[in-house]
Structure 1
Amino acid sequence: MNKSVSAKLVSSALLVSLVATGCESLPVPGIGSSSSSTAVVDNTDTAAAIEADTTGGKVFKVKYDSNELKNDPLVNSVDITATNLPGIPTPNVAVSDVNYIPTVLIPKTRNNPDEQLDVSLLDDFINEISPNARHYPPNFNSKSDQYYAKEKLKELEKWLRPFAEDENASYEVLLRAAKLNGMGRNLDLGSNFAVRGSTFIAKAIDRQPNSAEANFIYGMMLSEGGGFKEGKKYLMKAASQSYKEAEQSLAQADLLNDNRPAALSRLKSLQQKHPNDATIAKQIEIVEAGKYYIWDLPTAK
């Protein structure tokens, strides 16, 4: 008995799956480019469903009876997840040193503290790469580490930017956006990162004028970008609140402004307050060696 079946276009995903399972194709007489072509198929096997690819002029069976599949290699394949293969060792997998990232929620806007944003992964990333990219020049163990940091930073900055550009953005959002864009500038991701970084941190200071961290970040951005005089004002405000890194950035500004004695004096004075800080000791060595970037430190491997 013959049955007339309307031919229709098979999706590319279905065609790929059919080819992968050894699906047989049958010639369709008279089928051209028109999608309204009709194929006549022998329907003796009532369990078989027929589909047609009108562009290729072929009919594909997408169901088979058990006799047709008994010799199919995919049907009779071995599940290697449940069976050991002869001569092939079975890998053992174990998970250790599991770390949990603490949940961090911050207000999205300054006028609605109840509307919060989860920045747990963002803060974890910032904490991870800040030692390598917070200051110029960036310092990573390898090019692959630096590439990873760049790509992830671009994605996170793109995600956070709309919240920071809101006219009512909270201090917490603006501070994080400034950190990301500042590090993006140091990683040479483009001038847009420098502009956005300065814009966001200026707005953060407008929200909290006495914030030691915000004043430090703004002063650091300005001084490391060549604005020593303007940057010093913000760094001094942060340093007056015992913000140690602001003192180090002031030394860096002195050094880049060709005032090596002032930079060395500042670092040695800071070392007396923090005698166990190995970073300060290394920075003193850098200045005494005649170099100019106190943050160009060897990273731990």
Structure 2
Amino acid sequence: MKRFIPIILFFIFIQTSYAKEYAYHDPSAIIVSSGKQHQLDIAALDEIINDLSYHAKNYPPKFDSENDKQRATNDVKKLSAILQILLNSPKPEPALLKRSGLVNSIGHNLDISGAAKLADKDFSKLLALEPNNAEGHYLYGIFLAGAKQATKALPHLKKAVALGYTDAYFSLGMVYLTQGNIKQALTNLKTYKDHRPDDKNTDKIITAIEEGKFKINAN
């Protein structure tokens, strides 16, 4: 899938210096074995996912070095392989589908072949099982938006908002902006600000839009 990168000129809301390096993880450690029993360590899994999300939940990924990016790419590949095995069941666990979808959407941002198809499959299965999973709709929506599928992304982001997932207002605003719908973009970004008044980055984006100092680049 191709990506759509909204670029706001005049104000740069993607940080150019990063607060932390990507940590060293052992994806195999998420499986804890005791004799013949094997269990998934959700806390260990989430620790890795949170670190990956900080660096590559959105495109383009942000890493201090190419080495960090390569380690993250390898971790995503290993995590995805483990999770796909665990999800190979007639009744996959929704919480695991959500995590796998996020891992594979991050893989898409890291240009891992096949990651987009896996993310799409995971999120689709999740929402088939739990149609009112607010975070699932949000994560699927931002994945679709980043994969240049804004039309498909909008219903999921709207559903996330309707279910009370307020962070989706920001993503809705940015998707509308890529479509040239300035009115809806500002409405949603300002609503997001009502819920996140300390987000100064959004203030800059709103000001840039209102002053006409922005440009959308689909490359």
TM range (shorter): 0.7 to 0.9
Identity of matched residues, %: 29
On the 8 A contact 2:169/2:191 being kept in 1, the answer is no
Aligned counterpart for 1:149 among listed residues 50, 72, 75: 72
Question: Does the CA-based 8 Å contact 1:286-1:292 persist in structure 2?
Answer: no
1:128 shift after superposition: 1.3
Pairing 1:4-43 to 2, within 5 Å after superposition: none
CA distance in 1, matches of 2:59, 2:208: 15
Code of the aligned partner of 2:80: E
| RMSD after superposition | 2.4
Which structure is larger by alpha-carbon Rg, 1 or 2? 1
User: What displacement does 1:284 show?
Assistant: 3.2
* Equivalent in the alignment of 1:230: 152
Amino acid at match of 1:142: S
The residue aligned with 1:290 is 214
Contact 1:136–1:224 (CA under 8 A) maintained in structure 2: yes
Contact 1:164 1:200 in 2 (8 A): no
Q: CA deviation at 1:221?
A: 1.8
CA 1:166–1:254 in structure 2 vs 1: closer, same or farther (change >3 Å)?
A: same
Instruction: Quote the offset at 1:263 in angstroms.
Output: 1.8
- Are 2:193 and 2:199, in contact at CA under 8 Å, matched by a contact in 1? yes
Provide the rounded CA distance (Å) in 2 between the counterparts of 1:177 and 1:286: 36
CA distance in 2, matches of 1:144, 1:121: 22
- Larger relative helix fraction: 2
Equivalenced residue count is 180
Aligned-residue offset at 1:286:
6.2
Whose strand proportion is higher, 1 or 2? 1
Which runs of structure 2 are paired with 1:65-80 in the superposition (5 Å)? none
Q: Does 1:258 align with 2:172?
A: no
Q: Measure the CA separation in 1 of the matches of 2:213 and 2:60.
A: 18
Q: TM-score, normalised by structure 2?
A: 0.73
- The aligned residue for residue 23 of structure 1 is none
Change beyond 3 A, Cα 1:154–1:285: farther
Among 249, 252, 255, the alignment partner of 2:171 is 249
Instruction: Give, in whole Å, the separation in 2 of the partners of 1:227 and 1:264.
Output: 21
Inter-CA distance 205–161: structure 2 relative to 1 (3 Å threshold):
same
Rounded Cα–Cα distance in structure 1 between residues aligned with 2:213 and 2:86: 44
2:49 aligned counterpart, secondary structure: helix
SS of aligned partner of 2:87: helix
TM-score normalised by length of structure 1:
0.54
Runs of 4+ in 1 over 3 A off after TM superposition: 282-289
Task: Using CA pairs under 8 Å that are at least 6 residues apart, name the structure with larger relative contact order, 1 or 2.
Answer: 2
Say which of 183, 186, 195 aligns to 2:109: 186
Distance 1:163 1:232 in 2: 30
Unaligned stretches of 5+ residues in structure 2: 1-29, 32-37
SS in 2 for 1:165: coil
Structure 1: stretches of 5+ with no match in the other structure? 1-103, 106-114, 294-301
Superposition map of 1:64-213 within 5 A:
117-190=40-113, 192-213=114-135
1:4-43 per-residue CA deviation (whole Å, 9 max, x = no partner) reads xxxxxxxxxxxxxxxxxxxxxxxxxxxxxxxxxxxxxxxx
Aligned equivalents of 1:206 and 1:195: distance in 2?
A: 16
Deviation at 1:251? Answer: 1.3
Partners in 2 of 1:178 and 1:141 — Cα distance? 25
Query: 1:286 & 1:120 partners in 2: Cα distance?
Result: 40
Which amino acid in the other structure matches residue 135 of structure 1?
Answer: N
